[in-house]
Amino acid sequence: MSKPGLILIGAGGHAHACIDVIEQYGGYNIAGLIGMPDELHDHHLGYTVIGTDDDLFELAKTIQYALITLGQIKTPAHRIRLYEQVVALGFQLPTIMAPSAYVSPHATLGAGTIVMHGAIVNAGASVGKNCIINTRALLEHDAAVADHCHISTGAILNGNTAIGSGSFVGSGCIVKQGVSLGRGCVVGMGFTVRHNQPDYALFARHKKS
């Protein structure tokens, strides 16, 4: 039985990491990537940029599945806009898990979320829609990650933590057990978060909380 086609929305570096995970996952054939006009016909790991955002309406007539493969560091706005666009066009967004990741059968993942190589999503954890759980990230028991978040490489969310929608937790960060971050927070690389944070809290270099 042939695998369904999957369009990747975003043609940068994060798309390369997603391609590798999708290939290992094995459930879809990558039909091509969507990029900027100046990226048309570029090749990425053997796949071609076949269109821009303006082509998604026509592509939705023949391809059922799409995944947002644009990265998220400074703002979630672009990933949110693309997610809402593809949902409105009728695409289905799969949940992708690397074979080397561990996702507990007692955890939940939302549509359009990708769990990268070596990540762990432990029992009782929940992850919303359109999230990136990046390489070797750890979500401990009962951690809750809302929609459109990026939990970056090697980050640790300890038990019963809560991450608000659209937040970014940078590489190597540690969020203390039971701590909550509000919506739209940005935690820079390597920080330890020990106390609850309001919406749009920003952790910049040389600042710890």
Q: Do both 186 and 102 map to the same domain?
A: yes
Q: Residues in the chain with pLDDT < 50?
A: 207-209
Q: How many domains does the chain have?
A: 2
Task: Give the pLDDT confidence of 85-133 residue by residue, as tens digits.
Answer: 999 999 999 999 999 999 999 999 999 999 999 999 999 999 999 999 9
Q: Do both 118 and 170 map to the same domain?
A: yes
What does the CA dihedral 136, 137, 140, 145 come to, rounded to 10 degrees? -150
Of the residues 47, 70, 88, which one is the last residue of a structural domain? 88
State the residue range of the domain holding 43.
Answer: 5-88
**CATH number of 51's domain:** 3.40.50.20
**CATH number of 176's domain:** 2.160.10.10
Q: Do the domain assignments include residue 208?
A: no
Q: Do the domain assignments include residue 207?
A: no
| Burial degree of 147 (CB within 10 A; 0-12, 13-18, 19+) | buried
